[in-house]
Amino acid sequence: MRTLPMALAGLVCLWGVPLAAAQSWDISDLKVDKPGDKVDVKVVPAPKGAVVLFDGKDLDNWAKADDGKSKAAWKLVKGDAMEVHGGNIVTRRKFDGHFKLHVEFRVPYMPDKKSQERGNSGVYVQGRYEVQVLDSYHNETYKKGECGAIYEVSSPRVNACKAPTIWQSYDIEFWAPRCEDGKKTEPARMTLYQNGVKIQDNVKIETDNTRAGLGGDVCKPGPVMLQDHGAPVQYRNVWLLPLVS
């Protein structure tokens, strides 16, 4: 198939979304609250002992969530990032216990969209507990559905979002459920920092599976899952550090 010239590429649609929305990485017309809202977070190198899940080079550590085996369909893009495309993806490795998950992400500028339609994605810890990714900069949505929410469990204490198209970070400290004889005795817990600001503090997650999670036995390890919710959200520099409880 012949490749379209760049000048014609803007006439087509991508994944059923107008290309104008898919390529909305220019925020020159967006009024920001403070200059720092347009400043990318710095890349945080993986510390000693961390498991590097994505370093921008390839998607070898990831698979389609449908079967956990097939090659991930997301796209590698300039700047050592990957972009949502072709369904949810999961890490090939599974994790349990107490760990810190570091994820850097950026959402597109979609001013013609509102609420959950604007830059929606999610980070699912153990494939079960979603930390919402959304453009919550000057964008109202329902409680426990904002960027930084533990989805339908807990709203963030403050809105720590940067402007869309700007790189942001999550540092998720997670404690898996405690189990005895194969039965849960204590729920999972999570503390979350967004862009260095604590927005969730040791929250107990009473549910065993937030909406659209993978489910399964909570007493067993689970993967990290990144969600395809139809928006071209990008991720970079994903690593996980096991911690001692």
Summarised one tens digit per residue, pLDDT across range 40-77 is 999 999 999 999 999 999 999 999 999 999 999 999 99
Tokens at 218, concatenated: 């909570």
Mean pLDDT (the chain) is: 91
In our burial notation (b when 16+ CB lie closer than 10 A, e otherwise), range 211-236 reads eebbeeebbeebbbbbbbbebbbbbb
Confidence of residue 13 (pLDDT cuts 50, 70, 90): very low
> How many angstroms separate the CA atoms of 38 and 167, rounded?
9
**pLDDT beyond 50 at 97:** yes
Mean pLDDT to the nearest integer, 219-238: 97
Confidence of residue 1 (pLDDT cuts 50, 70, 90): very low
Summarised one tens digit per residue, pLDDT across range 154-167 is 999 999 999 999 99
Burial class (CB in 10 A: 0-12, 13-18, 19+), 167: buried
pLDDT above 70 covers a percentage of the chain that reads 90
Tokens at 69, concatenated: 């085996």
Q: Domains (ranges, CATH) in the chain?
A: 25-243 (2.60.120.560)
Beta carbons of 229 and 123 less than 8 angstroms apart: no
Amino acid symbol at 169: S
Confidence of residue 24 (pLDDT cuts 50, 70, 90): confident
**pLDDT beyond 50 at 186:** yes
> Looking at residue 2, what is its pLDDT?
39
Tokens at 165, concatenated: 């198209």
Which DSSP category does 208 fall into? S
> How many angstroms separate the CA atoms of 167 and 194, rounded?
11
Mean pLDDT to the nearest integer, 16-35: 72
> Looking at residue 78, what is its pLDDT?
86
Tokens at 193, concatenated: 């920092």
Confidence of residue 14 (pLDDT cuts 50, 70, 90): very low
